[in-house]
Each structure stands twice: as C-alpha cells, then as structure tokens.
Amino acid sequence: MRNRDEDRYYRHENRAKRRGIVFNLSFDEWIGWWKSTGKYHLRGRKKGQYQMARFNDIGPYEIGNIKCITMEENTREGNSGSKLSEEHKRKIGLSSLGNKHTKESKLKISKARKGMKFTSEHRENIRIVAENAWIKRNEAKRNSNVR
C-alpha cells in the first residue's frame, strides 16, 4: 500500500505525463529534492504555496532542471509572453472534465455574487459562454470515447 508521499509523487508524475512533459525523477529523488528545499509542507496549487517548476518551462522534470517557486511565480512564468495553442487549450479543458465545485466553494461563489447587477447583455454573454463550454465538454467526451 502506498503512503501519502508516494501518492503525491505519482499524482505529480501523472499530471506531467498528461501535459506531455517527461518526468525523470524517481520517488527518492522527488522526495529528497522537496525535503532539501525546506518547503515540502508548504507545497500545493493555491496562492502562496510552493511548486516544483522547470527552468523556463522547458525540458523534463529532472534534477538540474527544477526549482522551487511560489504558485504565483510559476503561473507568471508559464504565461509570460505566450499564447496558448488551440491544442493546449483543449488539453487544459480535458484535464478539468468532471471536476465539480465543493459545497464550500459554491457557497463562496454565491456570496461573492450576491448583490451583483448584470445587464441583459452581460447575462447573454454568460449564457453563450456556458453553452459553448457545454458543447466543448460534450465534444471532448465524444472524442475521448471514439478511441
């Protein structure tokens, strides 16, 4: 049976593979690197948390090509001066298929939106975006089932 650290390692490895990035770290290298940063307990995907990042977002995850930076820095580096290709956008969309908001996050969204006034034009734009997202999700599901 795998322990919690091993689960985190395999999750990281699988996410990299889904993104088409080579992951050349063994579990021992991965956990050793994290512990050497002193940030293992502060790692994550939320604001202020630390992440393993590749230099210039190029090459594989391997010793010598990784650094420890905050989520905000990693996002900034990943977005700097680049436009996402349609293929990359499609992969991002597919990676979040099936993810649902928790009750807690739905409540936060609801509280944030309370009292907001939307113009009819804005409501129409929201409807169109939601409809397009629904269409793309269903196309992606159909395409993934075709294989």
Q: Are 2 and 42 in contact (CB under 8 A)?
A: no
CB neighbours of residue 88 within 10 Å: 13
70 in the same domain as 27: yes
What is the domain range of residue 69?
4-79
pLDDT in tens, 56-72: 888 999 999 999 999 99
Contact of 23 with 17, CB cutoff 8 Å:
yes
Q: How far apart are CA 134 and CA 147, in angstroms?
A: 21
Q: Which two tokens stand for residue 39?
A: 């940030």
Residue 42 contacts residue 50 (beta carbons within 8 Å): yes
The pLDDT, as a whole number, for residue 82 is: 67
Q: Of 48, 79, 110, which residue is a domain's last?
A: 79
Distance between CA atoms of residues 13 and 23, nearest Å: 6
Inter-residue contact 47 to 74 (CB < 8 Å): no
Q: Are residues 64 and 102 part of one domain?
A: no
Q: Is the pLDDT of residue 112 over 90?
A: no
Predicted TM-score (pTM) of the model is 0.53
- Of 38, 60, 79, at which residue does a domain stop? 79
Model confidence at 146, pLDDT cuts 50, 70, 90, reads: low
In a shared domain, residues 110 and 128:
yes
**How many domains are there within the chain?**
2
- Please identify, among 39, 54, 79, the residue that sits at the C-terminal boundary of a domain: 79
> 98: how many CB neighbours lie within 10 A of its CB?
8
Q: Do both 108 and 142 map to the same domain?
A: yes
